[in-house]
Amino acid sequence: MKCQCETYLLLDWQYCPVCTAPVLITDQSDELKSRGFHRFPAAFAPLSYRFGKHVADQSWFYATFCQYVLLIKFDPTQLVYFRSTLLDRYFCFVGPNPPVATNEAFWCAISLVTDRYFRRRAAIYSWSSSQEQQIVEAWYDLIDLAFLVHEKNTVLETSKIAEWSSRLDEMQTQETGPHLACQLCESKCKYGEDIKFMITNDPLAIGEARSSVEGKSDSQQIEQLAWFARLWTERTLCLYDEDFAFCMSINVADRLGWSPERVHQLMVPIRESCHIDSCPEV
Amino acid sequence: MLECNGCSKYQKTEWNCCPYCGSPSKDFTILTAGEREIFPEAFEPQILLSAMNVANEKAFSLALIQYIQQIIASPANLFDLRSRIVEVYIHCSANPSFLYTRSLWVSLVLASDSYFLTKAIMYRWSSPQLEPLRQKWYQMLAAAFLGLRQDELTEEFIKDWTRDFTELHKCMVRPLMGCHLCQSKCVFQYDVKQFVVQSTDLVEQLTAQLSQSDTATDVFAKVGIEQSNDWFSSNDKDLAYCIATHLISEIDLLSRDASIIISDKIRRLIQERLQ
Ligand SMILES: [Zn+2]
Ligand SMILES: [Zn+2]
Ligand SMILES: [Zn+2]
Ligand SMILES: [Zn+2]
Ligand SMILES: [Zn+2]
Ligand SMILES: [Zn+2]
């Protein structure tokens, strides 16, 4: 956080020690409409909100959340297990000894990210507001059980999670993808958004990809591109999915400045390079 | 060091109000940890001025961090390695022979206070937490540099101080990718970072090494172990890992994603080699 006078401020400061201006709490009114608020109002108390929002605003936290939802599709138990990774990311951004309860600020961060994630989905897939409401509410029902403390011990059934995940999957089905090459993809277009976000927010990874394709022949470039996409798929999903790797290849190629025509022309060999019989060596 | 009367949080001298309760700076009080009483004659205007210049030298503040970490690694270093501080003092001082003992003492006090203050604000320590340790630190320095009450400075005394001071740093923060594997969260980050950002040569050398070999894990494990010894005379696994992790973040070659992957292997290598 920074003051108007350019002084760097810690998240829990109430005044700027240099210009003495009070640190204003950003307008919370919108966020109080969050469905996460009603489930745990304490998480949205001003200080907790300040920390939660700071974390939720980090693109890496959002990227991790995208990964979270993806992982659940392939393995519903990740809804519970991946929590520790999310918490890890949370602790990356709060600084030592934050004066807020972790479960409160963390819930606030998760709620804000959830709202953003589904608002974005709704816009991309043109969901009606009732569709959006239903899927978001059902998501909160799941993470509520997984993250919040309850008096009654309700069991979170894996089948419930899988059901939710396949409902989301259906809601993300499209006839055509954003790229010409998408015609070879059998999961249109379930990964494009997340992948684009992850790539845009990891410029160093694109640098790696660029240096590994530079100055190579067409076929070598395709091999390198697919190798990179396969590796990244494994890292993200902890397992291999061909459509995901293919989508990754196309998006990386796009970021590397390959023209849509070129990608279209090379799509068959790219797809073939993404096809593997077993997991690639990481 | 300054404390707010309203909320007893530490304050910087250049601040106009307390960032926590808004009390104006006229309501700040000076905390003297006895550092002035130990050697009051030293605190005269002329000496203060020259000592301030020394304390503001990067080399001197790094030497102090190094000295603190070396003492944490081994209590005997309080006496064994004090000559290094003297060396750096002479190097940084415009007129090293001018009232040498007094000037060195004030330089140490000013540099120590600025180290403690930066950390106190960063770690959100309150004065009841830090003050007892700060006082003991001056007792240690007085024994080492002024020869005062040396008999009280047993290994036990220093070990207690080390343990309590380290304990104060423990928290859940993970400033870097890879910190999740560290078992001393987050004891070393500030000290390590001060050294890593100064080490452009080392970073360049590593970058060159990395573009030639594909054993990045080995390169980082090795440099972590070497530098923890070189900088801090320490064999601590977490310190070596912390250095490796900070160097990874300094080097642009690796994406965050890639650094998460290699962290595991680096951690394992360091653990194996520093049994
Ligand atoms: Zn200000
Ligand atoms: Zn797609
Ligand atoms: Zn196939
Ligand atoms: Zn105050
Ligand atoms: Zn740390
Ligand atoms: Zn560390």
A42-77 burial, b for 16+ CB within 10 Å, e for fewer? ebbbebbbbbbbbbbebebbbbbbbbbbbbbbebbe
**A24/B contact by beta carbon, under 8 A:** no
Min distance B174 CA to chain A CA atoms (Å): 4
The pTM of the full predicted model, rounded to 2 decimals, is: 0.88
Same domain, A153 and A197: no
For residues B126 and B212, which has the higher predicted lDDT (pLDDT)? B126
Per-chain residues with Cβ under 5 A from ion ligand 2: A 177, 189, 192, 247
Mutation target for B interface from A1, A5, A10, A15: give the one with most B CBs within 10 A. A15
* Contacts by residues A117-120 (CB-CB < 8 Å, ≥ 24 positions apart): A117/A62, A117/A65, A117/A66, A117/A69, A120/A193
For residues B123 and B275, which has the higher predicted lDDT (pLDDT)? B123
Residue B10 in 3-state DSSP?
strand
3-state helix, strand, coil in chain B (%, to 5): 70, 5, 30
Does residue A10 lie in a domain region?
A: no
pLDDT in tens, B153-183: 999 999 999 999 999 999 988 888 788 889 9
User: Are the C-beta atoms of B88 and B59 separated by less than 8 Å?
Assistant: yes
Q: Based on the structure, what is the number of domains in chain B?
A: 3
Same domain, B54 and B151: yes
In sequence order, the 6+-apart residues with CB closer than 8 A to the CB of B103 are B42, B47, B50, B51, B54, B93
Contact between chains at B16 and A97 (C-beta distance less than 8 A): no
Look up residue A193 and give its two tokens: 């958004």
Last residue of a domain, one of A137, A172, A207: A172
Residue A33 in this model has a pLDDT that exceeds 80: no
Query: In whole numbers, what is the pLDDT of chain B averaged over residues?
Result: 92
Same domain, B116 and B140: yes
Does residue A2 lie in a domain region?
A: no
Same domain, B193 and B265: yes
Min distance A233 CA to chain B CA atoms (Å): 12
Q: What is the 3-state secondary structure (H, E, C) of chain A?
A: CECCCCCECCCCCCECCCCCCECCCCCCCCHHHCHHHHHCHHHHCHHHHHHHHHHHCCHHHHHHHHHHHHHHHHCCCHHHHCHHHHHHHHHHHHCCCCCCCHHHHHHHHHHHHHHHHHHHHHHHCCCCHHHHHHHHHHHHHHHHHHHCCCCCCCCCCHHHHHHHHHHHHHHCCCCCCCCHHHHHCCCCCCCHHHHHHHHHCCHHHHHHHHHHHCCCCHHHHHHHHHHHHHHHHHHHHCCCCHHHHHHHHHHHHHHCCCCHHHHHHCHHHHHHHHCCCCCCCC
pLDDT for position A25: 72
Q: Which of A46-55, A108-117, B5-14, B201-210 has the lowest mean pLDDT?
A: B201-210
Same domain, B8 and B130: no
Query: In whole numbers, what is the pLDDT of chain A averaged over residues?
Result: 91
Give the residue-averaged pLDDT of B214-225. Answer: 88
In sequence order, the 6+-apart residues with CB closer than 8 A to the CB of B56 are none
Q: How far is the CA of A202 from the centre of ligand 4 (A)?
A: 40
Look up residue B231 and give its two tokens: 């900088």
Amino acid at B191: D
Same domain, A48 and A147: yes
Same domain, A145 and A232: no
Q: Which of B169, B173, B255 sits opposite A91 (nearest CB)?
A: B173
Same domain, A186 and A160: no
Q: Place B99 in a pLDDT band, splitting at 50, 70 and 90.
A: confident
Min distance B144 CA to chain A CA atoms (Å): 32
Same domain, B63 and B183: no
Q: Which of B123, B180, B252 sits opposite A88 (nearest CB)?
A: B180
Same domain, B159 and B227: no
Does residue A23 lie in a domain region?
A: no
Q: Place B252 in a pLDDT band, splitting at 50, 70 and 90.
A: low
Does residue B258 lie in a domain region?
A: yes
Domain that holds residue A259: 180-273
Same domain, A93 and A198: no
Question: Residues of chain A with pLDDT > 90: what percent?
Answer: 74
Residue B107 in this model has a pLDDT that exceeds 90: yes
Does residue B158 lie in a domain region?
A: yes
CA-nearest of B88, B72, B90, B70 to B80 is B70
Same domain, A131 and A198: no
Q: From its phi and psi, is residue B124 left (phi > 0), alpha (psi between -120 and 50) or beta? A: left
Residue of B nearest to A92 (CA): B174
**B173/A contact by beta carbon, under 8 A:** yes
Contact between chains at A97 and B124 (C-beta distance less than 8 A): yes
Residue of B nearest to A10 (CA): B122
Q: Place A118 in a pLDDT band, splitting at 50, 70 and 90.
A: very high
Same domain, A197 and A266: yes
pLDDT for position B50: 92
A20 contact residues in B (CB cutoff 8 A): 16-17, 22, 24
Does residue A9 lie in a domain region?
A: no
B2 pairs with which residues across the strands? B11, B30
Same domain, B149 and B195: no
A98 contact residues in B (CB cutoff 8 A): 124
Same domain, B163 and B185: no
**B176/A contact by beta carbon, under 8 A:** yes
* Contacts by residues A155-162 (CB-CB < 8 Å, ≥ 24 positions apart): A156/A79, A156/A80, A158/A76, A158/A77, A159/A76, A161/A72, A161/A76, A161/A77, A161/A79, A162/A76
Same domain, B132 and B204: no
pLDDT for position B165: 98
Does residue B174 lie in a domain region?
A: no
Does residue A19 lie in a domain region?
A: no
ipTM attached to this prediction? 0.83
Q: Based on the structure, what is the number of domains in chain A?
A: 2
Amino acid at B205: Q
pLDDT in tens, B36-46: 889 999 999 99
A18 contact residues in B (CB cutoff 8 A): 14-16
Does residue A5 lie in a domain region?
A: no
**B11/A contact by beta carbon, under 8 A:** yes
pLDDT in tens, A141-192: 999 999 998 888 788 899 999 999 999 999 999 988 899 999 999 999 999 9
Give the residue-averaged pLDDT of A110-137. Answer: 95
Q: Which of A14-28, A30-44, B217-231, B246-260 has the lowest mean pLDDT?
A: B246-260
Residue B35 in this model has a pLDDT that exceeds 80: no
Same domain, B49 and B161: yes
Q: Place B259 in a pLDDT band, splitting at 50, 70 and 90.
A: low
Residue of A nearest to B9 (CA): A13
Mutation target for A interface from B26, B126, B170, B173: give the one with most A CBs within 10 A. B173
Same domain, B124 and B67: yes
pLDDT for position B257: 61
Window A:80-99, CB contacts with B under 8 Å:
88, 91-92, 94-99
Same domain, B48 and B152: yes
User: Are the C-beta atoms of B231 and B240 separated by less than 8 Å?
Assistant: no
Does residue A48 lie in a domain region?
A: yes
Last residue of a domain, one of A172, A202, A229: A172
Domain that holds residue B25: 1-31
Last residue of a domain, one of A172, A189, A206: A172
Q: How far is the CA of B203 from the centre of ligand 5 (A)?
A: 20
